[in-house]
Amino acid sequence: MQHISNVWPWYVAGPLIGLFVPALLLTGNKLLGISSNLRHVCSAGLPGRVDFFRYDWRRTGGWNLAFASGILVGGAVAGHFLGAGSHISPAAEQSLRALGIRDFTGLVPRELFHWGALATWQGVVMIVGGGFFVGFGTAYAGGCTSGHAISGLADLQLPSLIAVIGFFAGGLIATWLLIPRLLGG
Amino acid sequence: MRQSTNDERQPRSPLVPYFGLGLLFGVVLTKAEVISWFRIQEMFRFQSFHMFGIIGSAILVAAIGLQVIKRRGLCAIDGTPITVPPKSIGSGTRYWLGGIIFGLGWGLVGACPGPLFALLGSGVWIFAVVLASALAGTWTYGALRPRLPH
């Protein structure tokens, strides 16, 4: 049980994640890619007159919405029965302490991600703005970490390589320029 | 679930296997701390190999799996031949610009779309706001799509 409750090392988790690509193809010719679900939910809930959302989301996205629902339940199972936390390197903890973060016990820093934070402009930028960028950017780029970085790069697709370089460029800008300013460090 | 009929272009696939695979996927993401904001910060600060090892070895295993499927011409369980459609590059703008925009969000909230669902499941309720904002972002893209360079 000890192995299950500890953090799973990269050489276990990475190959397991990679196996989902052939597993989904063999199960029903589906390509791993989670951000499409944001589009499917829009299509199901509020398609409006937007062409991008006018398609048969049940047929195209039913399997993927089931997959995403599974992820949600998987997060619950792991979080409640197997233990979930963050065990970052001492160097990373030191850097984040320098930005004023003190609570390292959860999956996200409670000082930054709580309901009261929505009353501050920094919290709105981080929670609402960050979420908006995730939804807008993945739809624009046509994929996220799973669809482009894993499925796309594994299939040696040039568009995915360009997208992944963009992902990291954006992440570095957020980490090194935006977050230190948002936290007033 | 609606029974699929023969005249339909593509029969509806049963959803249970996908739910099961998703559940396992969510457990792995959570147990490897891929859904942790701290881990994503650690990655973008180059202060651990953990996330790079996960993404790199996932790509490697997925690539091997794809090659095996392609070279052997394997079919899916339902008998359809497996195909991976190539992405069209267009001007490339959507990939680098959309990629950077997503990256900004990934860095700020510390979660890409898969982990968004896992974080909600594990009880970090504030991520309902992140998910709602992500839906608003996708919807806004859909509305602006005809006017954006791709």
Contacts of A76 (CB under 8 A, 6+ apart): B26, B121, B122, B123
pLDDT of B60-88, one tens digit each? Answer: 999 999 999 999 999 999 899 998 989 99
Q: What is the pLDDT of residue B10?
A: 53
**How distant, in Å, are the alpha carbons of A111, A121, B25 from that of B125?**
14, 20, 20
- 3-state SS assignment for residue A123: helix
Q: How confident is the model at residue A5 (pLDDT cuts 50, 70, 90)?
A: low
Contacts of A155 (CB under 8 A, 6+ apart): B63, B66, B84, B86
Name which of B51, B69, B113 is nearest A144 (Cβ-Cβ).
B113
Name residue B92's amino acid: G
Predicted TM-score (pTM) of this structure: 0.94
pLDDT at B8 over 70: no
Q: What is the DSSP letter of A112?
A: T
| Cβ(A56)–Cβ(B68) below 8 Å | no
pLDDT of A85-135, one tens digit each? Answer: 899 999 999 999 999 999 999 999 999 999 999 999 999 999 999 999 999
pLDDT of B83-103, one tens digit each? Answer: 898 999 999 999 999 999 999
d(CA A99, CA A76): 30
Q: How far is A185 from chain B (nearest CA, A)?
A: 15
Within the 126-155 window of chain A, which residues sit less than 8 Å (CB to CB) from chain B?
A: 126-142, 144-146, 148-155
